[in-house]
Structure 1
Amino acid sequence: MESQITLEDKLKERIKELTCLYKVSSLIRNNDFSNIKSLLQEISLSVKKAIRFPDEAFVEIKTDDFTIVEGEKIEDAICIVAALKPFNKIKGAITVGYSKQKFSENAFLNEEKLLLKKVSSEISDFFERKAIKEKEDIAKRQIERAGRLTILGEITAGIAHELNTPLANILGFTELLKERYKEDKIGSEDLEKVINSAIYSREIVKKLMFFSCEMPQQMASININKIIDEAIGLLKPNFKKKNIQYNVSYLNDEIYLKVDRIQLTQVIFNLIINAIYFSPLNGKINIIVEEKSKTIQIKISDEGKGIGTTNSENIFNPFFTTKPVGEGSGLGLSVVHGIIKSHKGTIIHQPNSPKGTIFVVSFPKS
């Protein structure tokens, strides 16, 4: 089927190739990263049209996420291939092929090989820009979230201070009334309910102050392995209730960190209790403590349902909870976030494999 190519044919081929490059550049320039598969389909069709024998050729674009084939793919084929290398790492390839039974290696023009390299370069640049944009979007969301949490911290600190005085008055005067009406059984029971509600409200105020970093800290260098062991010891009934296994792994026998002992205990308690709550019956929780060059990292993983995309940016906000009404105040993780932030640390969450969530807490060693 191959034949000698004339000057006129060469001119026609050059026009096809230039048209293809212009089309590919236009498609990539006008794409907003929303439909990658459609973009690759259009590029493969454009490349197929630019090849010398388009009716006999197939074009395949293969990436980590997609495999696009234009034309009928032939297993026993002669091919030219150009790698897709965003950030100089191979992430796929674009292939053009003919049937070996009908064509020889000479079927491909040098200009077609150059065309394929140019198209692969355009696609690689596109994937680089896509990756950069995704990182920028993530950074922007993190900055916005940090800003929201700062504002929430200021608001909750103000609320906590404003509520402390009236709550103290409610508790004090209710105690006096209880003494006055101690002979009235029904009245005493009602006053006891008022006292319990006020105490519960005071605990929420304390948590708000933790979230806003208003609680005074008593920093000391402590072996955090002991803190975690003590917390797990106290939580053994919780593990037993759901028949949950736990595994604790320390990189070193003693890992010292300058922290507030009580606040660190609260962080560990909250994270483990959450892991137990969301774990299935007979599940497993892993706790790993690692000492790195500049940080000490605590990882707590469960095998629950995991954190959905819609909830991932809200879980550290005060009063946000996915638990049923009455089972959570929505302050546990916000308190954890406030404590860790006051220690100049970070907390992130990521999916566990095959299911569940991993919370990663990092504290600076200095």
Structure 2
Amino acid sequence: MENQITLEDKLKERIKELTCLYRVSSLIKDSGFNDLKELLKEIALSLKEAVRFPEEAFVEIKVDNFVFVEGQKREDAIFIISAIKSFGKIKGSVTIGYSKQKFSENSFLEEEKLLLHQIASEIGDFLERKEINEKEEIAKRQIERVGRLTILGEITAGIAHELNTPLANILGFSELLKEQYKGDKVGREDLKKIINSAIYSREVVKKLMFFSCEMPQQMVSVDINIIINEAISLLKPSFNKKHIRCNITFSSDEIYLKVDKIQLTQVIFNLVINAIYFSPERGKIDINVIEKTKNVQIRISDEGTGIEPANSENIFNPFFTTKPTGDGSGLGLSVVHGIIKSHKGTIIHQPNSPKGAIFVVSFPKS
């Protein structure tokens, strides 16, 4: 199989290699970033056709968890390999191999080795562009989401102000009517329902105002470890009801931040109550408070159902909820977002492993 190569053969091999390079460049140029597997299959096929003995060769391309082999891979193979690098990190490899029983290392031409390195470099460049594109898409969605939340904040602020006056009137006149219905048991019960409904509506308005950052703040420097411990201790009945373990860790014995104590408590309450709601019986919730150079992170993780990708961009929107009707108003996380935003902080969510969700709240130290 390893006959001496003639000048004519060399010319044919160069034509095959140049054709392969052109074909691969065209494939990469025309390929969408979502068709990586199909692209790698086509590249493997083109590369196999470009080698000296295509009928006997196999080509293997590995990228992250994807592996594709064109031809029959042999365990006793003699092969050449080139790493696929993206931003200086090895992401995979391209391999050309023959059966060791029929071929030796001399079966590979130097030009074939150069071709292999060039193909690996082309794939690496494509992966870099793909990663840049994905980051741009994420940044674009985040900007759009911030814009939507800003508009929603303005709308909800207006709604809250408009509702405050009629709600105050309903409560005030209902209290006055109670005096006229002293002897009417049924009438008093009806009035009680009106008052309770108005109070509930007023609480919703308060949450809307929190979301739009319209509530006045009392910013003081406090040891947030104490606030978090007190908030969790008040939630013990909720933990016990589902037999959930709660582990709290602090990176320092004392972590001071300038915050509104009541609003910070509300953030912890809402996030932990959500974690409890979605946690399974006898599950575990971890709360890690980590002091860094420029900020303090609060990580709350659960073992629940996690957040569906389709819902990930909506969970901070007011009135959006995945809970059944009657179990939630859809304002908890929007209130949390508004409070954190007013503290110039950030909140993100990540998947937990092997299941569940992690909310990461970051407050700046200055």
TM-score, structure 2 normalization: 0.99
Output the CA distance in 2 between the equivalents of 1:233 and 1:105.
70
**Residue identity opposite 1:64 in structure 2:** D
**SS of equivalent to 1:298:** strand
**SS of equivalent to 1:300:** strand
Output the CA distance in 1 between the equivalents of 2:88 and 2:303.
37
Deviations 1:269-300 (A, max 9, x none): 10111111111000011111010000001011
Alignment match, 1:45: 45
**SS of equivalent to 1:313:** coil
Whether 2:131 is the aligned partner of 1:115: answer no
Alignment match, 2:247: 247
Deviations 1:290-324 (A, max 9, x none): 10000001011110000000111000000000111
Output the CA distance in 2 between the equivalents of 1:365 and 1:349.
21
Instruction: Please list, as runs of the form range in 1=range in 2, the aligned pairs for 1:168-187 lying within 5 A after superposition.
Output: 168-187=168-187
Alignment match, 1:357: 357
Deviations 1:232-282 (A, max 9, x none): 111110001001011110111110000001100100110111111111000
Alignment match, 2:23: 23
**Residue identity opposite 1:192 in structure 2:** K
Alignment match, 1:157: 157
Aligned length: 366
Shift of 1:65: 2.4
TM-score, structure 1 normalization: 0.99
Alignment match, 1:3: 3
**Residue identity opposite 2:4 in structure 1:** Q
Alignment match, 1:319: 319
Output the CA distance in 1 between the equivalents of 2:52 and 2:216.
77
**SS of equivalent to 2:87:** helix
Contiguous gaps of at least 5 residues in structure 1: none
**SS of equivalent to 2:194:** helix
Output the CA distance in 2 between the equivalents of 1:34 and 1:365.
40
Output the CA distance in 1 between the equivalents of 2:298 and 2:87.
32
**Residue identity opposite 1:234 in structure 2:** L
Report % sequence identity.
77
Alignment match, 1:233: 233
Output the CA distance in 1 between the equivalents of 2:225 and 2:160.
33
Alignment match, 1:12: 12
**SS of equivalent to 2:102:** coil
Alignment match, 1:259: 259
Alignment match, 1:93: 93
**SS of equivalent to 2:288:** strand
Contiguous gaps of at least 5 residues in structure 2: none
Deviations 1:114-136 (A, max 9, x none): 11111011000000000000000
Output the CA distance in 2 between the equivalents of 1:179 and 1:330.
36
Deviations 1:168-190 (A, max 9, x none): 00100111111111211111101
Output the CA distance in 1 between the equivalents of 2:138 and 2:94.
30
Alignment match, 2:214: 214
Alignment match, 2:283: 283
Alignment match, 1:272: 272
Shift of 1:62: 0.8
Shift of 1:63: 1.2
Alignment match, 1:197: 197
Deviations 1:78-129 (A, max 9, x none): 1111110011111110000111111111111111111111101100000000
**SS of equivalent to 2:274:** helix
**Residue identity opposite 1:181 in structure 2:** Y
**SS of equivalent to 1:227:** helix
**SS of equivalent to 2:90:** coil
**Residue identity opposite 1:77 in structure 2:** A
Shift of 1:77: 1.2
**SS of equivalent to 1:117:** helix
Output the CA distance in 2 between the equivalents of 1:179 and 1:64.
75
**Residue identity opposite 2:130 in structure 1:** K
**SS of equivalent to 1:258:** strand
Output the CA distance in 2 between the equivalents of 1:319 and 1:280.
24
Whether 2:360 is the aligned partner of 1:336: answer no
Superposed CA RMSD in Å reads: 0.6
Shift of 1:33: 1.2
**SS of equivalent to 1:217:** coil
**Residue identity opposite 1:38 in structure 2:** E
Shift of 1:34: 1.7
**Residue identity opposite 1:241 in structure 2:** K
Alignment match, 1:310: 310
**Residue identity opposite 1:336 in structure 2:** V
Instruction: Please list, as runs of the form range in 1=range in 2, the aligned pairs for 1:127-166 lying within 5 A after superposition.
Output: 127-166=127-166
Output the CA distance in 2 between the equivalents of 1:44 and 1:184.
86
Output the CA distance in 1 between the equivalents of 2:147 and 2:277.
30
Runs of 4+ in structure 1 over 2 Å off:
none
Alignment match, 2:61: 61
Deviations 1:316-343 (A, max 9, x none): 0000001110110000000000000000
**Residue identity opposite 2:303 in structure 1:** E
**Residue identity opposite 2:320 in structure 1:** F
